[in-house]
């Protein structure tokens, strides 16, 4: 059986066909421009593929409340062309198949829980740190939604006194995304992160902000594993820095078997950057019920 998968991002839309085991059979990337330009290309890709259902893991904020009049919409996104766009309705009308829907980062944690390094766990967090910062949460074996869905990138972490930069978030002056996203790094230091690999000062500050956030997630959500993905986390020197700072900030307050080995607790994404699209396949599989 074949399933359709769409990982809808602000820069690109990844479309794919997967099987019931989550294996990606084919995929391609479509630039994210406007709904009028992008959606016909997505629909054309899936037509004739004989997929049973489609899973959509989408940038947000989105409406996940099935009793809401705007369920399936991209809502108050800063990507103005997509604001209040009914992406699920558009796909259902065109393809006439069931469509499963969740956030892009929930798709990523679902991919890791189902096929990756968090397999067998009931509680885990996936945090993507790139152009922006977002997170997906699996809690007690279920994706966490709540009133809307978690916005882990916008927790307030406080700006460090020696940080000469400024927040790039238009809403908050001290949130994680505003201070630690890839855009923030470039604005603060005048270069992209890939050009700053050997600058220890850059990554010490970055690790400090990320570790502060991870301590807060650990204390509030009690995950069994924290997975870090996204372009910034391709700077692998960050992982030992983050783990050391996490240990210092936790200060021994929580003592569990998971925290005894931070190399296995705070880990990189394990699915070669396909965790999102593989999660979208699982969303499609779950919609086929």
Instruction: Provide the residue count of the chain.
Output: 289
| 163 shares its domain with 251 | yes
Consecutive H or E run containing 2: strand 2-8
| 62 shares its domain with 126 | no
Residue 113 lies in a domain: no
Centroid of chain to Cα 171: 20
| 160 shares its domain with 236 | yes
| 148 shares its domain with 191 | yes
Residues 202-256 pLDDT 10s: 999 999 999 999 999 999 999 999 999 999 999 999 999 999 999 999 999 999 9
Consecutive H or E run containing 185: helix 182-189
Q: For residue 146, name the pLDDT band (cuts at 50, 70, 90).
A: confident
Q: Per-residue pLDDT averaged across 127-153, rounded?
A: 94
φ/ψ bin of 84: left (φ > 0), alpha (ψ from -120 to 50), beta (otherwise):
left
Measured in degrees and rounded to the nearest 5, phi and psi for residue 209 equal -65, -45
Residue 163 lies in a domain: yes
| 214 shares its domain with 92 | no
User: What's the total number of domains in the chain?
Assistant: 2
Q: Pairing mode, if any, of strands 142-143 and 54-58?
A: unpaired
Cα(31)–Cα(11) distance, integer angstroms: 6
**Do residues 29 and 12 make contact, with C-beta atoms less than 8 angstroms apart?**
yes
Cα(155)–Cα(148) distance, integer angstroms: 15
Q: Pairing mode, if any, of strands 266-268 and 225-229?
A: parallel
> What CATH number corresponds to the domain at position 29?
3.30.420.40
Nearest 5°: the CA angle 75, 79, 85 is 40
| 140 shares its domain with 194 | yes
- Name the token pair of 21: 């085991």
Q: For residue 289, name the pLDDT band (cuts at 50, 70, 90).
A: confident
Residues 33-86 pLDDT 10s: 999 999 999 999 999 899 999 999 999 899 999 999 999 999 988 889 999 999
| 63 shares its domain with 49 | yes
**Do residues 115 and 126 make contact, with C-beta atoms less than 8 angstroms apart?**
no
Q: For residue 10, name the pLDDT band (cuts at 50, 70, 90).
A: confident
Residue 198 lies in a domain: yes
With pLDDT > 90 as the criterion, what percentage of the chain qualifies?
A: 94
| 74 shares its domain with 175 | no
Whole domain around residue 20: which residue ranges?
2-106+273-287
């Amino acid at each position: 059986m074949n399933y359709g998968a769409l990982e809808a991002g602000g820069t690109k839309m990844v479309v794919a066909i997967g099987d019931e085991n989550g294996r990606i059979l084919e995929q391609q990337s479509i630039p994210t421009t406007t709904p009028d330009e992008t959606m016909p290309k997505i629909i054309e890709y899936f037509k004739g593929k004989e997929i049973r259902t489609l899973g959509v893991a989408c940038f947000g904020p989105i409406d996940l409340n099935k009793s809401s009049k705007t369920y399936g919409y991209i809502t108050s996104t800063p990507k103005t062309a997509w604001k209040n766009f009914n992406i699920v309705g558009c796909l259902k009308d065109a393809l006439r198949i069931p469509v499963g829907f969740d956030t892009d980062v929930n798709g990523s944690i679902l991919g890791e829980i189902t096929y990756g390094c968090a397999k067998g766990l009931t509680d885990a967090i996936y945090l993507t740190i790139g152009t922006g910062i977002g997170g997906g949460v699996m809690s007690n074996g279920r994706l966490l939604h709540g009133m809307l869905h978690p916005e882990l990138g916008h927790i307030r972490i406080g700006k460090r006194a020696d940080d000469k930069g400024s927040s790039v978030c238009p809403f908050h002056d001290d949130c994680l995304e505003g201070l630690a996203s890839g855009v923030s790094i470039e604005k603060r230091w005048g270069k992209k992160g890939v050009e700053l690999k050997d600058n220890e000062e850059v990554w010490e500050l970055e690790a400090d902000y990320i570790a502060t956030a991870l301590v807060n997630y650990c204390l509030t959500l009690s995950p069994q594993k924290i997975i870090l993905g996204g372009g910034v986390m391709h700077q692998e020197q960050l992982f030992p820095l983050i783990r050391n700072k996490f240990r210092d900030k936790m200060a021994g307050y929580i003592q569990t078997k998971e925290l005894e080995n931070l190399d296995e607790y705070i880990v990189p994404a394990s699915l070669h950057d396909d965790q999102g699209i593989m999660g979208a396949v699982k969303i499609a599989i779950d919609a086929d019920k």
